[in-house]
Every structure is written in C-alpha cells, then in structure tokens.
Structure 1
C-alpha cells in the first residue's frame, strides 16, 4: 500500500476510522491512537476529509466507550473498575487514586484527566463508581474528548509535510511494518490480560467514597 492508497482510504472511510480509533482507545484496546490521529490530521491537508469532522468522529467514538464504562462502573462497581485498573502500571492504587482526585478536584478533573498518562482510560469507570452524576460527567467528558482528539488531529495538520514524509517511508516497508504492528498488538493484548488476571488475584477491593 502506498501513500496515495492510504489517502484514498482515509478520504472514503476517514470518519469511521476516526470513530473506531476513539472508541478503541477508551474502551481499553491496545492501539496507537495518537499516531493514527496525527497521521489522519496530516492527510486532511488535501482538503478531504474535513479535519473538524475527523476530530468530532474520534471524540464521538471515545464518548461512546466512556459512556459504557461509566454506566458499567455505576452498575457493577469495583468488578468493572478492577478490570480497567489491570491495564495500568499501578493496578493496586488506581481505583483509590482516580476517585480521590475526583473528590478533591470535583468535576473540573474530568476536563483534564484525558491528558494524564494512565488516567484517561480510568476516568469513566471511576466516575461511575464514585457516584458522579451523569449530568455532571457526560457534558464535561464530551468537551475533554473534543480537546483530546482536536489536539492530535491539529498537530498532524500543522506538521503535515513532516508527517507525510514519515508515512511515505513507513509504507515502503508495508508487509514488515504490518507484521510488526500486529505482533505489538497481540503482545500488548496478552500483557493486558495477564495484568487484569494478576490484579484480580492479588488486590482486594478498596472502599471508595462518593462524589457529587
């Protein structure tokens, strides 16, 4: 696949691709979403697809995933959050840490949490278990997701020349690059599964207070 083919695919299916990327990122799938969105932003320099709609589609996908995690957090409590925490570098503390930040900073933490490593994926289930109201959480996380997607896509558009040069080099090694990416995805998936299993075995459920 050459760069022209990649551009054609993005032109035809760019909004759906952005939506799936946003959903996968915040659903917990191992995906280099930032790289994909930066690349998509660079390829919009030709005028299609529309850069604003690409960012909106990615944010919409993330919003769907976050809404599901949030509702599951309210419904299933720690069983859901434990699964999410197994994906982080510090699974034993992640529930209490995120919920403590929600209690201390209130709803304003929702607006910035997407930009903290290890927190973005945990925010929605933690907000659900902490009792943050839907009317408080959902509008704010929508704004945060728009900012998250807009920054990545905007950086790609701003540095379109440099990004497309790198992409052109990468596609020259298409089969090898695809094999490497597939291997990384499979390895990351196995690693995350092991982290979830270990967390459930080794860590009891912490008590978490509520936040309004």
Structure 2
C-alpha cells in the first residue's frame, strides 16, 4: 500500500486501520506500526478521534500480547525456543532476555514495547513463568498506552512535517521505493554479517554429552554452568552438579573457580549460541579450558535418559 493510499484509508477509518496494523505487528508479522501511528496522529487528532485511535492501538497490542502469554503458559519454554530459532541471528538467545525479565519483574512489561526483540518474547515469558493474568494485562495495557500514545502525539506535534514528507514521497515514489529497498538490503546484510560473525566465533572446541558425563564422574570434575532460562529450569528441573548462571552475571557465577580448571557451558539455544557466547567471554577473561556442550540441554537429556540418570523428560 502506498503512503497516499494509507493516508486516505486513515482518514476514512483510522480506528480499524490502526487496530489491524498494530495487531499484525504485535503478533509477530514484519509490518511496521509506528509509521502508521505517526501518520494517524497527524491526521486524526484534529478531528477528535485521538481517544478512539489510541484505544484501538491499546486493545490490539494487548490482544496480541495476551495470545503470546497464553501460548507461553500452555507450551512453556518450547515457545521461547521456537522464537529463538526464528531469529536470523542465533546469538540472540531467549534465555538472556528471560533472565533480564525475571530480574526486572512486571515493570519490564511496561517498557517492553520500546526495546526491540524484548517486546516479542516478554509476553510468552510472562506466561511460561505463570505471572498472574490481571497483573500481566494491566502492565501490557500500560506499556501499550505509553508506546502508542507517544507515537500518536509525535505525529500530531510533527503534523506539518509529516504532511510535507507524504507529499514528497508521492512526488518521488520511485526514488522512495529504491531507498526503502536499499534500507531493507542494508538491514538484511547487517543481520547476515552478524550470523557470519557468530559462525566465526563458534569455532571453539566443544565437549560431547558422553565426554561431560565421564568428566563429571572423574577425579577433577569440571564446573558446569547451566545457562538455560528460569522458566525452562522450573519446568524441567535442574541438572545435577551444575551451577545455574546468567550471561549478565557470568563472572559472578564462576566465583573463585581456578582459571586453569575446566569449565563447561550449556544452554537450550539453537546452535548452542548462548553456551558459545559464555565460553568466549570466559576465555577472554583468562580461563584456560572452557568448552560449550555440543547439542546443549537436549543432547545431554537424551544421553541421561539412555543411561538412566533421569527417569523421564518433563
């Protein structure tokens, strides 16, 4: 849809256009909502529709968040793992965001909309951690009101500039499309570069689950750092002999562990991303022998079940 067509649609039925746009964006589709809110703010505030449009944005945002909350409540960490797998950058593991969510509490939901990436995973994390639904909905609504209200307000304050920008885009629609395509290409190139850089960083020696189990039974067992998120640990239980750790507090988790003694990092991330990141951080801090567990928690669980170390997968 061209800018002029969007502008005409907003003038005809701003409430439904904003509702559908925000709902699709918040449910996870790559549909930008802020430009629509800015445009709506520049067009509808003078007609007295501000409250209706703001309410539509809040309802759409909370509805999408509620769907993700229910998914997290029903399927737990599997929803979070699925979101992590969809990321074009495997190094952005959900468990890191989940730890921050737990640390910041319900207030994080109020500011989630302003933090790229965090806004997507915060609702299913809240569901998987069994946050009380009334508190979740109140925090989600408050955050949506701040996010949408600021965008609509900015559109009204900059209404002259927005109108001039729309006119310029209409006059130079071909150039605008080329610029948009270039910006998308740059964004995609940056994400692919991040993925390539992660591949380079992944070139660190791993340890297999069988090797880890043998080492844990030896005379000098390694320090095992379990980097899974709180919801997954609560759902599946801790790993015997492992120390629960967070990426942001990694050196604190290591404590006084000698730098020449072995350390193993494990997570439940695609391509062992979180475990590799943690291993790299500890190696850079001077620890000599740090290896991520190949295959992560799922690989360890499969071997543990086969050897009778655990009775069932929860």
What TM-score do you get using the length of structure 1 for normalisation? 0.77
Aligned to 2:230: 209
Structure 1 residue 36: deviation in Å? 1.6
Q: Which residue of 2 aligns with 1:18?
A: 18
Shift of 1:7: 4.2
Other structure's SS at 1:26 match: helix
Residue in structure 1 matched with residue 301 of structure 2 by the alignment: none
2:67 matched to which residue of 1?
Answer: 68
Q: Larger helix proportion, structure 1 or 2?
A: 1
Alignment of 1:45-56 (within 5 A): 45-47=45-47, 50-56=49-55
1:45 Cα offset (Å) = 4.5
**Could you say which residue in structure 2 is the equivalent of 1:96?**
95
2:3·2:169 contact (CA, 8 Å) conserved in 1?
A: no
Look at both structures and tell me which one has the larger radius of gyration over its CA atoms.
2
Cα distance change on mapping 1:15 and 1:180 into 2, 3 Å: farther
Given that 1:24 and 1:62 are in contact with CA atoms closer than 8 Å, whether structure 2 keeps it comes out as no
**SS of residue paired to 1:121:** helix
C-alpha contact 1:42 1:160 (8 A) present in aligned 2: yes
Contact 1:130 1:208 in 2 (8 A): no
- Secondary structure of the 2:118 match is coil
CA contact (8 A) 1:22 1:61 kept: yes
Counterpart CA distance in 2 for 1:93 and 1:176 is: 34
Structure 1 equivalent of residue 78 of structure 2: 79
How do 1:112-131 residues align onto structure 2 when only pairs under 5 Å count?
Answer: 112-131=111-130
Q: Using a 3 Å threshold, how does the CA distance of structure 1 residues 86 and 13 change in structure 2: closer, same or farther?
A: farther
- The residue number in structure 2 matching 1:166 is 165
Structure having the larger proportion of residues in strand:
2
The answer (yes or no) to whether the contact 2:54–2:145 under 8 Å persists in 1 is: yes
Task: Indicate yes or no: 2:44 matched with 1:44.
Answer: yes
Corresponding residue SS for 1:31: coil
Q: Secondary structure at the match of 2:57?
A: helix
Question: 1:46: how far off?
Answer: 4.1
When structure 1 is superposed on structure 2, of 111-120 and 162-171 the one drifting more is: 111-120
Contact 1:2 1:172 in 2 (8 A): no
Output aligned runs, 1:165-204, within 5 Å.
165-174=164-173
3-state SS of the aligned residue for 1:10?
Answer: helix
Contact 2:38–2:154 at 8 Å: present in 1 too? yes
Runs of 5+ in structure 1 lacking a partner? 196-205
Deviations 1:159-209 (A, max 9, x none): 10001100111123447756986995xx97xx9xxx9xxxxxxxxxx6432
Calculate the aligned-residue CA RMSD, in Å: 3.2
- Native 8 Å contact 1:25 1:33 kept in 2: yes
Look up the SS of the partner of 2:163 in the other structure.
helix
Q: Which has the higher contact order (CA 8 A, sep 6+)?
A: 1
